[in-house]
Each structure stands twice: as C-alpha cells, then as structure tokens.
Amino acid sequence: MGKKINKQYQMKENTVLEIEDLSIAFGGLKAVDNLSFDIKEKEIFGLIGPNGAGKTTVFNCITQFYPPDTGTILMKNKNNEVVNLIGQKVHNVIRQGIVRTFQNVELIYELSVIDNLLVGCHIYYKTDIFSQILRLPRANKEERKFRKKAVDILKFVGIEKYKDALVGGLPYGVLKKVELARTLMSDPKLIILDEPAAGLNEQETENLSQLIKDIRDKLNCTIFLVEHDMRLVMGTCDRVCAISFGKLLAIGKAKEIQNNTLVQEAYLGKEDDMNE
Amino acid sequence: METILQILFNSLEKGSIYALAALGIILIIRTSFTVNFAFGRIGMFTAFITVYFMNHILSSIWLGAVVGIISAIVIGLIVDMVVLRHAHKVDIIGKQIVTLGLIIIISGITPLLFGINPFHLPKFINYVGQSDSLTIMNASIEYNGLFTVGIGLIFMVCLFFFIQKTKWGLAVRATASNEPTARLMGVPTKIVTMSAWAIAGAFGALAAIMIAPSVNVKPDMMDSIQVIALIACVLGGFQTFYGPVIGAYLIAFSRNVFTYYISSVWGESLMYVLILLFIVFRPQGLIGKKIVKKV
Amino acid sequence: MKKLSIAQKAYLSYAVFIALMALLPVLAYYDIIQNATVDILSNVVIYGIAALGLNILLGYSGLVSLGTAGFMGLSSYFAAYFTKDLNLPFFLSLLIAVGIPMLIGLLVGLVSLRLEGYYLAIATLGVGEILHKLFLNIDFFGGSTGRKAETPQLLFGLIKLKHYEYNSFNSMFILLIIILGIVMFLTFNIIHSKVGRAFLTMRGSETCAQAMGINLLKYKLEAFAISTLFASVAGVLFAHNLNHTDYQTWTMVTSLNILAIIVIGGMRSIFGTLIGAFIVCADVLFLHYIPISGIDYILRGALIIVIILFYPRGLVNIFHDIKRLFRKFFQRKIGVGNG
C-alpha cells in the first residue's frame, strides 16, 4: 500500500533528496523547525550549525530513527523511483540507498576490519539461515564474493593492510575510514556522514576531504555531511546549509555561507549581545 | 465481602514480607549495580542463626532475631568488602555470577554448621488475651500477622524517610542515579554501597524470620520469595525505591486472588504470565518514565 | 601441503577433541579410569551444549536469559513422555521435544524486543519460574516424582545404547559427544556467518544494526530460537542420560549455573564454554581430593568467585597468560645468563 502512495510524489530533476517542512519536537522543544532543502545528485552537501542546532536530529529523521512530526522526505532511490522515506522501517532505509556513519564510531570491536565491512552488505546476502548454518556451497560462494568486494573497497579507501586486524586495537583515524568503507559496501546512492572529521588531526582531515571527493567522483555517490570542522566543510562541500535552533539560516555555496551575517551571528552571537 | 477481606488480610501479611525482600534487592541493584541472587540464601542462613541462638543460648525468639539481623548486617558488609569491592573489573553479568558463587558457598556452609534437618521457628506473638487472631467482619488475621505488617511498615517508612530526608539519603540517591558522577562530586559511594548491603542483609533476615513460622527453616525457604521479590522489582520499575514495594503488595494480592478465584494449580502461573505481558507493554514498570534513547 | 582455512582448522580441532573424548568410555571399560568420571563428564557435555546456546544469545547477541533451565526441563519431560509412554523412536522424539520449547523461546524473543538488561534477565527468570511451577503442579510432569525415561534405542532398536551399568561400555556417552560435536560445528558456522555478524552488530549497537539493514525482530527471534534449540537438545539428552527428570533440577540456580559456565569459561569462545562447563559441572573430579567432608561445596563457590575476580574475561585467557609468563621467565633466564 505504501508503494502506491509513493508513486504520486514528484521530485525535481537532478535531486536525490528533498526535505520539505520537516519538524520534530522533543517535549516542548522544537529540535527541527520547518526545515526545507534539497540535495542534488553527485553533490557534496554540508549541514552546519552551532552546538545543539539540531543537525544530527535531521539525520535521524531522514534515517527514520526519529519519526518526524510533520514534513516529507522524498528520495530518488537506487531504481530512480521517488519514495517517501517517512514511515519506512528503520532497517529498510538502507535498501533505498541511504547509508550513514555515526558521530561516535559504531564498529564491532570483536570483529576484524573485513568482517566489519561485511556487515555493511548485510542486505545483499541472499542465502537463508539454514544454508548459512550448514555452510552449504552456495553460502560459501556468496561469502567469498562479498569478501572480494570488501577487499576492493579497502584498497580504494587505502586501509587494505589492516584487513585482518581486530577493530579493537586500531587508531581512531583508521576506524573512521573503516566506517566509511563499510558504508560503501551497500552500493549507496546517498552517504550521510555524521561529523566525519571529529577527532582527526589536520593531515587526516585533509586525506578525508580527498577521499570524500574520490567517493563522489569514482563511485557516483551523493554525500551529505554534518560537520563542525570548517576547514573540511569549506574545502569539500559544493553547497552548505546552515541551521540554528532547528531553523534554516541560509543555503548556498560554501563561500557565501561563510560571509553570511546571519550565520556569523548564530556562531558568534549578535553584536548587541556582546555589548550588553 | 468476607472472603475478599480475608484475602486482603492475608495479602497484607505476605506482601509485607515480599516488600522487605524487594527493597533489599532494589537497594543493591541501584547502588551496587548487581542483582543479588544470593539475597534469599543470606536470609535463610540468618534464619538458621536465629534458630540456633534461640535454642541454645538466648532462649528467646526476640533476642534470637536481633542476633540474626546483626549477623545479616555483618554478612552483607563482608560480602561487599571482601568480594564485590574487588570486582570493579568484572562486568555486570560477571558480578551476578559472583552472587551465584555466594549461593553455593552459603548452601555449603549451612549443613556444616546446622545439620541437614529443618527447624521450626515460633511466631513472635502467639496470643493476645485469649485469642491468637483478630477478627473483623468474620475475616481474621493472626496477631503475629499484624505484627509482621507493622514491622514491615515501620522499617520501610524509616528507610524512605532516611532516603528522602537525610543527607545520607541524598548520597544514596546520587549514587543510584549516577555512580561515577556521584563519586567525582565527593559522595562516599563506597560507604553508600556498603551500607546498602548491610541494610539489604537486615531486610533479608527480617523477611526470612517472618516467613519461617509458616515454611520452617530450611535451605530453600527463601527461594520463591526471592523470585517474587525480583518480579516485584520489574513490575514496580527499577527507577524508584517505592515502585518495587508497590509491586510486592500487588503481587501478594493478585496471587491470592488468582489462586482463590481462578485455579489453585494454574492461578499463580497465570499471574506471572500477565505480569510478563504487562512488562512487555510497559517496560519501565508501574512507576517510572520511559527513557528516550539517544542515537 | 595446502594451507587450511580458519573453518577447516576449527573443524579439525573439533574432530580431534571429539575423538579424544570418545576414548574415555573405552578407558573406563578397561577400568583405567572410573565409570563415575565418565558419568560426570556426561553432565559436562549436556550442560556444555546448553551453554553454547546461551553463549550465542548472551555473548553474541547481548540478550540475557535466565530461563534456560526451564526450557531444558520442558524438553526433558517431553523426551521422557514420547519415548517411554508413546514409544516414539529417539530422533522423532528429539524433533518434537525440541520444537515445543523453541516455540516458547520465540515468544520470549518477542519480549526481548521491548526489554533489555536486568528487565530481560528477570522476565526470563519469570518464564523459568512459571515452567518450574507447572512442572510441580501439573500431572503431566509427574509432580514431585517427575517422569521416567529410558536410554534411547537408535535405528529402530538396532542399536541399544547403554550406560551406567557395571561392566558395560558406556555407549550413551558416544551419542552425547557426537551431538556435542554437531552443536560445536553449527555454533562455529553461525558465528562466522552473516547471522553471527548481525548478532554481534546488534549487541554492539542496535541503532547501528538497524542502519545497516539488520532487522532486529528477525535476529532477536533467531538468537532466542537457536539458544532454546540447544538448551532443549541438552534437556532431551539429560532425560535419556539419567533415565529420569524431575522439577528439582530445573530451578533458577541451574540457569545461573549455565550462565556461570560461559562467564567462567569465556564468552564468545567455543572451547572456553567447554572449559567453563568442566569447571562448573566436573569440579567434583578435583575437589574430592580434599579430605575434609562437606567442604567441597564451599570450595566450589569460592572457586567460581575467585575465577571471576581474577579472570573476568574468562578462563580461556589463561593459556595466553601462561604463554606470556613462560616467555617472561625464559627471557629473564637469558638475561641472567648474559649478565
């Protein structure tokens, strides 16, 4: 039934994600307030804002962890059908082609790097639990196929040498890359990165910036990121959206946003405030 | 009317015992972050001590009970200081297995010290004037039962007054809400945990001594009470100290209602099933707010 | 020679282990070891199987259950009833006796979607308690006398297993260890497949699991199904091994014992679980050397506590530590020699 309704939605050409009038309140507090923006195909789109502006909440609404109070979130999925993400099961969102990373790296510390990547293509495993448990040849074949894919992605991200290392003992910068590599396992259309540069040093941030661009260019992904680190945002993003207290401040090219007075006020406070 | 009143009297008596046990368990859960599965066995052991002192040294149930309660406090302190304080590297589940170890140790010591025969423990109050029970509208409650209800209430009121109104009570609440922060703020969490074990031990001893006249003093005397107390904690919710108490009285009442009106065979099991269903629909228990998970 | 894969290595080690275990009843037959030793080890195998199931549930999926004994008990009664009263063949009886607890296990799995931590632990304890009450109160379960079972006959009575009798080969033990071998093999496969990875992801972070497309409902149910399956198989074997089952065995303490097995042995380790089962179920073998009578029970509790305090991550790490100790020792020796 859900699908029939979805068919009626229309999206602009060249857009992947369209968010309209998104609102969500926790108790009396409006975390996101009538927010609208869209993300174009093969774009690197940044979402910035001061602490507590509701950035991560926007992510959580898109990925359906929090059901929003009002609004629509339209997405052109892998088959180029327009779907409304609202009301989808959380674990089905990835099937539409959206995959995310987390603010605090969420990897499985008991598993090796490559096994962590295999979790990323969980949805592509076709064999049933019985062939898995009995290790039938088709389950083995499938496993080998995905392992090969994982190795390719590790090569692409540049961390192949850690392939069999346990995630538990690796440095933070590598963990961030493992998480990014895991998103690639699901052949995503839209990758959502929650503060990818947090905890990285300058060199690592620069590498990451290049890697994000590579992913966009070579793997045809659209990237949507929340970030505090302005160097990364300014150096990587095509367009940036600034929000404060859940409300939209401005959308535009990175440079424009940087010079926008509203945005500066949100970050630094109004001049009146300072004088008081 | 008569039967329902009788059920009510009976439930109040049993409920007080369950409530004491539930309080003992929730105190340790909140301050020590362990489900103390050895709670019932410690209570059982102190009931044996009570019987021993009553029979051989003091020849009074009252003095015997005092010795029993003091020994329970000492056992509680020993358990905390000797074992659990050194278990900070152990995860939550490991700590619970430690209490399983305690069960086994206590079950091993008991027959060594007291033999293998069950003992009878008399009631505190047998007769007031000529009769052994108070009758109201054809429903009766033994004076000893009234005493149980009264003692239970007094101890619980004291504990709640202590927790809500005193500086040390504040320390207990702070530890319960966030142990590391409380410790950093200078709350002596070690002493809080230690006293929680002592008080829990005392409550366990009380519950055991009060149930003893009806079940005899034997190794498994507290097993079903402990299970009921645990379920009372879940039913009432872990977030408050009074939730489990309400849960305990509620279980005592519905257990009697179910076994009397529905089936003496299936009644109790049916009640547990209903409680489980209730928890599924209200995981935070009767009292308590839902905690929103942060992503 | 071709290098063995991880799976092949594991299978080989299990096969060797099972083969070595199979020697035990032979040794007992020729009176080299005592028959009683084999009987005690039968318990290790039975509880080890149940613990392997709990290990998948707790160690891998992060879901705790204190109802294991209840499920074991339930299937033990069914096994007794089907084989003794209905004369069903062993394997058919096994299939049905295992199926019914599994259905209840699935229901508990539904509960686990809403409850976690202590709440789930006590809710499952409640399930175990309900079953315990039913065992005692319902006629079918034989009340306090329990139910009688028999040592199974396989292949329409062609093979009649035996145990416990004087001067006979304990062939029941062979059945036990073959089933243990199968369970070890299945456990390995589960934890090294997408199912095992999904379990671990769920344990680490439910939000992350959902974001990766893992259906929590499905995998929690699967985890509970697998763990009750293993527990029920263990229950069936219990009934046939003792030829008897009654309510006194299936209590909270038994559930805690099974939990103790995996905590002591080491979570997420197959051989660790078996080490734990040995410590918990076969401690008599080394505790009976202590001359003071009655003290073995106390030592057993103390042993559990000491192991947990010193090896909070499980005894399976002891090999690693011994290796390190050796290395240290030899290095110092070399150092002294040089000096």
Cβ pair C49, C232 in contact under 8 A: no
Residue C11: which residues within 8 A CB-CB, separation 6 or more? C185, C188
Query: What mean pLDDT comes out for the span A92-99?
Result: 92
Residue C43 forms part of a structural domain? yes
Cα–Cα nearest to B117, from B57, B48, B213, B207: B48
State how far residue B93 is from chain A, nearest Cα, in angstroms. 18
Residues of A in contact with C62 (CB under 8 A): none
For residue C241, pLDDT over 50 is answered with yes
Residue C221 forms part of a structural domain? yes
Residue C288 forms part of a structural domain? no
| Residue C201 CA to its chain's centroid (Å) | 24
Reported as type and span, the H/E element at residue C152 is none
**Range with top average pLDDT, B121-125, B178-182, C76-80, C160-164:** C76-80
- How far is residue A74's CA from residue A82's CA, in Å, rounded to a whole number? 7
Residue of B44, B85, B93 for testing the chain C interface, max C β-carbons within 10 Å? B93
Which residues between 103 and 142 in chain B have a beta carbon less than 8 angstroms from any beta carbon of chain C?
Answer: 103-109, 111-112
- How far is residue A147's CA from residue A115's CA, in Å, rounded to a whole number? 8
State how far residue A64 is from chain B, nearest Cα, in angstroms. 11
Residue of A89, A93, A126, A133 for testing the chain C interface, max C β-carbons within 10 Å? A133
Instruction: Tell whether B265 is within 8 A of chain C (Cβ).
Output: yes
Nearest-CA residue of chain A relative to B292? A26
β-strand partners of A18: A38, A74
For residue A44, give the 3-state DSSP assignment. Answer: strand
Instruction: Tell whether C102 is within 8 A of chain A (Cβ).
Output: no
**Alpha carbon separation from A80 to A15, A17, A90, A100 (Å, rounded):** 11, 12, 20, 20
Which stretches of B33-91 are DSSP H helices? 39-53, 61-78
| Residue C90 CA to its chain's centroid (Å) | 21
Q: Do C259 and B269 touch (CB under 8 A)?
A: no
For residue A43, give the 3-state DSSP assignment. Answer: coil
Chains that touch B (3 or more CB pairs under 8 A): A, C
- How far is residue B45's CA from residue A251's CA, in Å, rounded to a whole number? 72
Give the single-character DSSP code of C85. Answer: I
Query: What mean pLDDT comes out for the span C82-90?
Result: 88
Whole-number percent of chain A with pLDDT over 90:
43
Residue C297 forms part of a structural domain? no
Residue C117 forms part of a structural domain? yes
C84: exposed, middle or buried (Cβ count in 10 Å: 0-12, 13-18, 19+): middle
User: Which of the four pLDDT bands, split at 50, 70 and 90, describes residue A213?
Assistant: very high
Nearest-CA residue of chain B relative to A102? B295
Instruction: Tell whether A144 is within 8 A of chain C (Cβ).
Output: no
Cα–Cα nearest to C70, from C270, C227, C183: C227
Instruction: Tell whether B294 is within 8 A of chain C (Cβ).
Output: no
In this prediction the pTM is 0.89
Residue C227 forms part of a structural domain? yes
Residues of C in contact with A93 (CB under 8 A): 211
Residues of C in contact with A192 (CB under 8 A): none
Q: Do A56 and B292 touch (CB under 8 A)?
A: no
- How far is residue C316's CA from residue A241's CA, in Å, rounded to a whole number? 53
Residue A129: which residues within 8 A CB-CB, separation 6 or more? C195, C222
State how far residue A110 is from chain C, nearest Cα, in angstroms. 8
Cβ pair C260, B100 in contact under 8 A: yes
Q: Do C197 and A125 touch (CB under 8 A)?
A: no
User: Which of the four pLDDT bands, split at 50, 70 and 90, describes residue A6?
Assistant: very low
What radius of gyration, in Å, describes the C-alpha atoms of chain A?
20
State how far residue A79 is from chain B, nearest Cα, in angstroms. 29
Cβ pair B95, B87 in contact under 8 A: yes
For residue C57, pLDDT over 90 is answered with yes
- How far is residue B178's CA from residue C6's CA, in Å, rounded to a whole number? 44
Instruction: Tell whether B87 is within 8 A of chain C (Cβ).
Output: yes
Cβ pair A46, A239 in contact under 8 A: yes
Residue C67 forms part of a structural domain? yes
State how far residue C60 is from chain A, nearest Cα, in angstroms. 10
β-strand partners of A166: A112
Query: Where in the sequence is the domain holding C93, given as residue range(s)?
Result: 6-253
For residue A107, give the 3-state DSSP assignment. Answer: coil
Residue C301 forms part of a structural domain? no
Q: What are phi and psi of C31, to 5 degrees?
A: 60, 25
Number of neighbours of residue B118 by Cβ within 10 angstroms: 17
Overall domain count for chain C: 1
Block residue for tokens 């109104």? B165
Cβ pair C47, C68 in contact under 8 A: no
Q: Do C295 and B269 touch (CB under 8 A)?
A: no
Nearest-CA residue of chain B relative to C211? B295
Q: What are phi and psi of B215, to 5 degrees?
A: -125, -5
Cα–Cα nearest to C268, from C323, C192, C209: C192
| Residue C84 CA to its chain's centroid (Å) | 25
Pairing of strands C244-245, C147-148: antiparallel
Number of neighbours of residue B71 by Cβ within 10 angstroms: 20
Q: What are phi and psi of C138, to 5 degrees?
A: -95, 135
What radius of gyration, in Å, describes the C-alpha atoms of chain B?
19
For residue C193, give the 3-state DSSP assignment. Answer: coil
- Residue-wise pLDDT tens for chain B (295 aa)? 788 888 888 889 899 999 999 999 999 988 888 889 999 999 999 999 999 988 888 778 888 899 999 999 999 999 998 888 888 788 888 888 888 889 989 988 998 888 888 888 888 887 777 777 777 777 788 888 888 999 999 999 999 999 889 988 899 889 888 888 988 888 888 889 999 999 999 999 999 999 998 888 888 889 889 999 999 999 998 888 889 999 999 999 999 999 888 888 888 888 888 998 888 888 888 887 776 655 5
Q: Please provide the average confidence, as pLDDT, over all residues in chain A.
A: 87
Number of CB pairs, chain B paired with chain C, less than 8 A apart: 137
What's the CATH number where C220 sits? 1.10.3470
State the angle between helix axes of C90-112 and B267-281 in degrees (0 to 180), rounded to the nearest 10.
50
From the list B101, B265, B283, the residue facing C301 with the nearest CB is B101
Q: Do C308 and B223 touch (CB under 8 A)?
A: no
Could you tell me which residues of chain B have a Cβ less than 8 Å from any Cβ in chain A? 292, 295
Which ipTM value was assigned to this complex?
Answer: 0.89
Cβ pair B258, B246 in contact under 8 A: no
Q: What is the pLDDT of residue C156?
A: 60
Chains that touch C (3 or more CB pairs under 8 A): A, B
- The length of chain A, given as a count of residues: 276
For residue A15, give the 3-state DSSP assignment. Answer: strand
Q: What is the number of alpha carbons within 13 Å of residue B106 lying toward its C-beta?
A: 27
Q: Do C309 and B90 touch (CB under 8 A)?
A: yes
**Terminal-to-terminal C-alpha distance of chain C:** 44
